[in-house]
Amino acid sequence: MAGSAEPTNVQALIFDVFGTVVDWRTSLIDDLTAYAARRGIEGDWTALIDAWRQAYVPSMDAVRRNPQADFIILDDLHRRSLERLVDEFGIRGLTEDDLSYMVTGWHRLKPWPDVVPALTRLKTKYILSPLSNGNVGLLTRMAKNAGLPWDLILGGDVFGHYKPDPQTYLGAARLLNLPPEQVMMVAAHNNDLAAAQALGLKTAFIPRPTEYGPLQTLDFDATGDWTIVADDLAGVADRLGC
């Protein structure tokens, strides 16, 4: 059995969302390709979506480097990146409604097939929350669209910080009124778990080897000494006795 230790006394599970819970790439390719066909807009949507996601980390880093400024929520970072990219990709004729539809594509992402049944099992014993760089409004609308049975919603704008800033992991434990060791971070990204583990949280890794499609280079396997390593969220529920 993978994983170094049985978790003890965990009360709450907090989840990375983009990639771990939802398949952002396939969801957006399907959504925007169909939308563009209806609207008669031409473009390489797969390439645009891959570039959009590549803009994600640099856009959060820019917020992090300027802590005196107001925090910028992910919806707004998505919008700024998109405006630049449609220009770079030579996509023309987009209206304000088109841009708004595309940005809210991140509110309509579909979960991986194991997610809803496993969360439903885990919810019987644990407090469940996203801990995502998405903003609360984005995550709330995604949960309603996708039927994600969270108990509460924690996003970057609750803390005014993006992961992996410590304020996010420790802020989640604080709002849950739990010591970090009673909170388990669940993610398909080793770097997210490393940041959580360094602050005392428990960790669970599941691989999502198709998250980035042909561009995936990382996170095919667990690279750290995580509390649980499983094939998917059903395996996490198994290991936690749900």
- List residues binding a second copy (CB under 8 A): 73, 75, 127, 135-138, 140-141, 143-144, 150-153, 155, 157-158, 174-178
Q: Specify burial of residue 67 (Cβ count, 10 A radius: 0-12, 13-18, 19+).
A: exposed
Nearer to a second copy, 73 or 229 (CB): 73
CB of 220 to a second copy, least distance (A): 33
CB of 3 to a second copy, least distance (A): 26
CB of 203 to a second copy, least distance (A): 21
- Continuous H helices in the chain: 24-39, 45-54, 56-64, 74-88, 96-103, 115-122, 136-146, 156-159, 166-175, 190-198, 233-239
Nearer to a second copy, 51 or 99 (CB): 99
Cα–Cα distance, 186 to 137 (Å, whole number):
21
Cα–Cα distance, 221 to 229 (Å, whole number):
9
Cα–Cα distance, 90 to 41 (Å, whole number):
11
CB of 146 to a second copy, least distance (A): 12
Nearer to a second copy, 39 or 125 (CB): 125
Nearer to a second copy, 183 or 222 (CB): 183
Cβ neighbours for 125, distance < 8 A, ≥ 6 positions apart: 240, 241, 242
Cα–Cα distance, 131 to 139 (Å, whole number):
10
Nearer to a second copy, 143 or 185 (CB): 143
CB of 111 to a second copy, least distance (A): 16
